[in-house]
Amino acid sequence: MPTITREDTDVLTAIFTVKIAKEDYQKQVNKKLNDFRKKAHLKGFRKGQVPMSYVKKLYGKAVIADELNELSYKSLMEYIAEHKITTFGQPLPVEDQIAPDLEARNYIDYEFQYEVGLNLSFEVKGLDKSTEVDNYEVEVTDVDIQKEIDRFRKERGTQEVVDEVKLETDLLSVNLIELENDEPKEEGINKFSMVAIEDIEDEELKKHILTLKKSDTFDTDVHKLVSKEQAKNIRKQFLYVSEETEFNDTFRVEIQGITSMIPADLNAQLLIDAIGMEKAEKYIADFLPEEEIEEVTEDSDLDILEVVDLDLGMDEEGEDADNEEKKAVQFGFMEELRIMLEEQYKQTSQTFTFTKIFDKLKDLNKVELPDAYLRRWLEFASESKVGDIEFEASIAYLRDTMLIEQIAKDMDVYVSEADIEAEMRQDYYERANVNPDDPKAEKQFQEFYKMMLQYDEAFMSKRQSTMNRVKIEEKIGEVVTFHPKKVSTNEFNDIVEAEREARRKKAEEEKVEETEKDNAEAAENTIIETELT
C-alpha cells in the first residue's frame, strides 16, 4: 500500500505526499496490459500473441498514468477519512510539481504531492444567554385580514372604463407635464404614465382626485403621485427617464382615462379560489348544489373549478339568500386567512430573528479560510478563471455555511449527509411504492441517489445547510436570550424594511471602504515601483 506523509504549510493548508512503490501498482498494470495484449492485432502475429514489449510501448505509459492517478487519489482520500481530517473541496496537485517520467519497461517508485485545505472545527462564541435579540410576536387584526380579502377581490375583479373617478382602487391614465413657473417647461418632461390612487399617501391630494373626471387637470409634486417606496425609483418606473435626468418637482397631471377596478363578488367560488375546496366547503356547503359536492368528495382528482357551478342564481328568498352566502364567505375568509397570516408572520418573524442572531454570531466569529487554496479549487472545479466578485461571493457563502454547520454541532442538532441520505431513502421508498425488504430496493435507491447528485453537484451541501438552519431556528430560543415583543403587522413590516435599508447602507459603506483600500494599495505599489526604478 502507498505510504502518506503530511506537512502543515500553515494553519489552514497542508501538503500530503503519496509515495507509491512499484509493488503497489505493477500487478494491476500487468493485468490491464495483458487484457490489451489479448485484443491487440499486429501483422505477423496471431491474436493474443503480440509481444508484451510492443504492448508496453503502445499502451504502457497511459495505463501506468491512469493507475497511478487512481491509486494515489484513492489512497489519499482513505487516509483523510481514516484520520478524520475535515477538508474543503478536494485535494489538488501541488502547483509546479514536476511531472514524473513514466517508465513502462522497468517499473519504478513514484511520489505525488497534493495540497489540501483544512476545515478546522471551532467553538462558536456568543452561543449562550449573553446574546440577546428581540423576538417579535406579530398580532394579526381583522383590519389586516380585510386588506387581504380586498386585495384578493381586486385581483379577481373586473375593469370598467368610466368618465369619473369613483373609488380609491381606480387607475388613472395620465400625461405628466413638467412645469416651470407654473407653465410647461420648455423641453421639459412630457410622459404618459399610470397613477394608482390607492398608492397616494397624501390624503388631501387623494381626496381631491376622487372629485375629478376625465380631461381634468391638476398640479402637484410628482413624488406625491406614488408611494414613498415607489418614489425611490420614480425616474425609471414612473417617469421613464434615465437616472441622470434632472427635473423640477411640480408637474401638471392631465387625466386621459379612468379605469375603475370592480372587486369580485363575495361568493362561494371566490372562497374556493382563495383557500381551496377542502377548507372552503365547511363554510359554503349550504350554497352549493348537493350532487356536485358529492362528486367532488368522491373524486379527489376532479378539477374543482370546472365542477362547481358558479351561476347559483337566486332562490325564493332572493337578496336575503345572496346576503347569507356573502356572510358565510366573509366568515370563511376571516377564519382561514387569520390562520394563514398568523402562520406566515410566525415563520417570517422566526427567520428574521434568526438572521439577527446569525449576524451577531458572525461578528463574534471570524471564520478563517485558506483563500489562495480556495481560489485554486474554484478555478479547478469550474475550469476557468474566477473573478474577484464571484470569488468573494463564494467565500462569503462558504463562511456562512461553515458557521451554520458549527452552530448546529454545538447545539447538538447537526444534520449529517448520512441523515439526509437516510431521509431521502425513506421518502423514495414511500413515493416509489418500494418495499424496503425487497433485495433490489437499495440498488434502486442508490441509482436514484446517484442521479440526484449528478444532476446538481451542490445538492447535498445545499440541502444539508438548509436542514441545519431549520433545526437551529427551531431550538435557538433555548440557547440565546429572547426578548418577546408584541407588534402590529405594520410595525413589523417597518422593522423589517428598516433592517433591509440598514443592510443596504452597510454593504455600500463596505464597498466604498474596499475600493479606498484597493486604491491605497495601488498607490503604494506605484510609489514602490517608482522608487525602485
- pLDDT tens, the chain, 533 aa long: 899 999 998 889 999 999 999 899 888 888 888 888 887 776 667 676 777 777 788 788 888 889 999 999 999 999 998 998 988 878 999 988 887 777 777 888 899 999 999 988 889 999 999 999 999 999 999 999 999 999 999 889 999 999 999 889 899 999 999 999 999 999 999 999 999 999 999 999 999 999 999 999 999 999 999 998 899 899 999 999 998 999 999 999 999 999 998 899 999 999 999 999 999 999 988 887 655 443 333 333 323 222 223 333 334 455 566 789 999 999 999 999 999 999 999 999 999 999 999 999 999 998 888 888 999 888 888 888 888 888 888 898 889 989 999 999 999 999 988 898 898 899 889 888 888 888 888 888 888 888 887 777 677 888 888 999 999 999 999 999 999 999 999 999 999 999 988 888 888 887 787 777 777 777 777 777 777 66
Structure confidence at residue 313 (pLDDT): 37
What does residue 423 show for φ and ψ, rounded to 5 degrees? -65, -45
Question: Are residues 270 and 155 in contact, defined by beta-carbon separation less than 8 angstroms?
Answer: no
How far apart are alpha carbons 67 and 61 in whole angstroms?
10
Structure confidence at residue 200 (pLDDT): 95
Question: Are residues 285 and 293 in contact, defined by beta-carbon separation less than 8 angstroms?
Answer: yes
- pTM for the full predicted model: 0.70
What does residue 482 show for φ and ψ, rounded to 5 degrees? -100, 135
Indicate the class that CATH gives domain 3-117: alpha beta
Residue type, 285: A
Cβ neighbours of residue 53 under 8 Å, at least 6 residues apart?
A: 105
Q: Where in the chain is the domain with CATH 3.30.70.1050?
A: 3-117
How far apart are alpha carbons 235 and 158 in whole angstroms?
30
CA angle 203, 204, 210 (to 5 degrees): 85
Question: Are residues 479 and 132 in contact, defined by beta-carbon separation less than 8 angstroms?
Answer: no
How far apart are alpha carbons 299 and 302 in whole angstroms?
6
How far apart are alpha carbons 15 and 6 in whole angstroms?
6
Structure confidence at residue 320 (pLDDT): 65
Residue type, 100: P
How far apart are alpha carbons 205 and 192 in whole angstroms?
20
DSSP state of 180: E
Structure confidence at residue 182 (pLDDT): 93
| DSSP bridge pairs for 251 | 178, 220
Structure confidence at residue 254 (pLDDT): 97
Indicate the class that CATH gives domain 158-262: alpha beta
Q: How would you classify residue 496: left for phi > 0, otherwise alpha for psi between -120 and 50, otherwise beta?
A: alpha
Q: Where in the chain is the domain with CATH 3.10.50.30?
A: 158-262
Residue type, 75: S
Strands (E), 21-105: 92-93
Cell of 455: 444532476
Cell numbers 474577484: residue: 388
Cell of 370: 485558506
Is the torsion defined by CA of 497, 500, 506, 509 positive or negative? negative
How far apart are alpha carbons 165 and 246 in whole angstroms?
31
